Amino acid sequence: MTRPMELPERKSAAQFQLLIDATQSVLAGMFVRHAPADRELAAFYRADRRCGSRDRAFINDSVFLLLRHWGWARKLAGERLILELENGKAALSRRDAGAMLFFALACGGSAPEKLETAARVIGADAVRDIAALPRRERAAKAAEALNIPMTFDENELLPDWARPLLPANFCGRMPVRPPMWLRVRKNALARVQEELTARGIVCTAVPEFPEALAVDAPSINLSTLESFSRGDFEVQDLASQGIVRFSSPRPKERWFDPCAGAGGKTLALAEAMAGTGIVVAGDVREKVLVELRRRANRAKYPDIMVRRHDGRPWRGLNPFDGVLVDAPCSCSGVWRRAPWSPWMTHREDIPRFAERQLEILRNFSRCVKPGGRLVYATCSAFRQENEEVVEKFLAADPGFRLAELNNPFTKTPCGGYMHTPDTFDCDIMFAAGMERTK
């Protein structure tokens, strides 16, 4: 007769075996096909019908946990294998993938039953009572259970080339994903909070941004909420909201967002002007503009005009009161949300981004009227993509100067440069505010 606990144990073990399969597929996608991990996971689920909703949730959480600790987990496999793997010349064995997953689950303080299942599947010693330990000690305990004793440093969580170019505390923030942030429309905050609470969604406000809510909704699709259908809120990170507030759009102004993407900042600009201004949003990609149009219609913003362009300055447009150049970048400021990105980005990518950013900034600065404002923004933490681009632009164009603006997070003067303070649990973004003098 089957013992009562055998079936759940077998199911847990089968789920961990499925996780190993998914991990092997994701790592091959990253390092061989150069594909983002989230895209590889979606492809894995389409190809493997064994995955139910709970399996997918467990696999998503575990794979992302491994990638957040990849800088540590890669040490377990040895330098030679890792170099071959990350250069697309080798595949990770099931044994090594299982060991790395066990290690990552321990680093993340996962539930004891998940750790015990993982240890049993890979034949490792169990690790118990580690949830209260600091992350580095949890990592050391897991490595010891794998008979690979070693120590760990938070600086190892990112590639060697990136660490000297990033803020001092950047590595320590990497293992923890920031929350999902909402930007709530004026006069809708109470009913949005009421609906979120009724659905069991924990939401937290911050005094500096009364219209922002941090939400913990791991298993609920926010698009199913009535308040979403009404256009009461948009999913937008707090740092992105800060960029728009830093831009200081005023009622009845005309703004141009030439790198609009799916339109998060476009919608926020329109909201900041309370429907009294005009926002022209453009991008070189028609696909993202389709999403922008859909979002603008849902939010009932008739004052948004959407146009595709080829990246060069538009002709025939009257100059704008403000231009927000949200330039494409390395996205290092959002690496916590996309933990595979540090290992798919290379040192030589950064100057290429900076060169293109300067070109875009020069092209669209011509659309600013005298006395108008030019805001350059990135979601990068690298100075070469931020201050250095602005410095080169200002040196070549005496018609612009840095504006005297306040950082919306600290409410203090910032000399024209805005950085997201690390005291806020959100992405890292940069902005420079300039004004046209002639």
Query: Residue 11: what pLDDT?
Result: 73
Q: pLDDT at residue 41 above 80?
A: yes
Instruction: Let me know whether 215 and 253 are in one domain.
Output: no
Quote the pLDDT of residue 219: 66
- Domain range for 223 is 180-235
Mean pLDDT, range 110-119, rounded to an integer: 91
pLDDT (average), residues 304-324 = 85
Q: What pLDDT was estimated at residue 3? A: 37
Q: Are residues 184 and 141 in the same domain?
A: no
Phi-psi bin for 277: left (phi > 0), alpha (psi -120 to 50), beta?
beta
Please state, in angstroms and rounded to a whole number, the distance separating the CA atoms of residues 171 and 168: 8
* 218 and 308 co-located in one domain: no
Q: Which of 171, 329, 379, 426 is catalytic?
A: 379
- Domain membership of residue 274 (yes or no) is yes
Examine residue 172 and state whether it is found in any structural domain, yes or no: no
Is the domain of 282 the same as that of 212? no
Is 345 a residue whose pLDDT tops 50?
A: yes
Confirm whether 164 is domain-assigned: no
**Residue 203 catalytic?**
no
Whether 163 is in a domain gets the answer: no
Number of domains the chain is built from: 3
Radius of gyration of the chain (CA): 24
Span 281-292, average pLDDT: 92
* Averaged pLDDT for residues 66-83: 92
Q: Are residues 276 and 416 in the same domain?
A: yes
Flag whether 316 is in a domain. Answer: yes
Residues 142 and 289 placed together within one structural domain of the fold? no
Q: Do 114 and 249 share a structural domain? A: no
Task: Please give the angle made by the CA atoms of 161, 164 and 165, to the nearest 5 degrees.
Answer: 90
Of the listed ranges 12-21, 48-57, 325-334, the one predicted with least confidence: 48-57
Assign residue 375 the CATH number of its domain: 3.40.50.150
Mean pLDDT, the chain, whole residue set: 92
Question: Do 324 and 379 belong together in one domain?
Answer: yes
Question: How large is the average pLDDT for residues 384-400?
Answer: 97
Please say which residue of 152, 171, 191 terminates a domain: 152
End-to-end C-alpha distance for the chain, whole angstroms: 87
Residue 175 placed within a domain: no
The string of pLDDT tens digits covering residues 4-15 is 333 456 778 889
Task: Measure the CA–CA gap between 149 and 140, rounded to whole angstroms.
Answer: 7
Q: pLDDT exceeding 70 applies to what percent of the chain?
A: 97
Q: Say whether both 259 and 401 belong to one domain.
A: yes
User: 219 or 196, which is more confident?
Assistant: 196
The pLDDT assigned to 240 comes to: 97
**Residue 2, pLDDT above cutoff 90:** no
Alpha helices of 90-149 — where are they, by DSSP H? 94-107, 112-122, 135-145
The lowest-confidence range among 217-226, 276-285, 388-397, 400-409 is 217-226
Do 253 and 314 belong to one domain? yes
Is 226 a member of any domain?
A: yes
- 170 within domain boundaries: no
Q: What digits encode the pLDDT tens for the residues 244-255?
A: 999 999 999 999
When pLDDT is cut at 50, 70 and 90, the band that residue 258 belongs to is very high
**Whether 146 and 13 share a structural domain:** yes
Question: Could you tell me the CATH number of the domain that includes residue 209?
Answer: 3.30.70.1170
Which pLDDT score is estimated for 126? 87
**Measured between alpha carbons, how far is 214 from 181 in angstroms, rounded to an integer?**
4
Residue 205, φ and ψ in degrees, nearest 5: -100, 160
**Is the pLDDT at 309 greater than 60, yes or no?**
yes
Residues 296, 330, single domain; the answer is yes
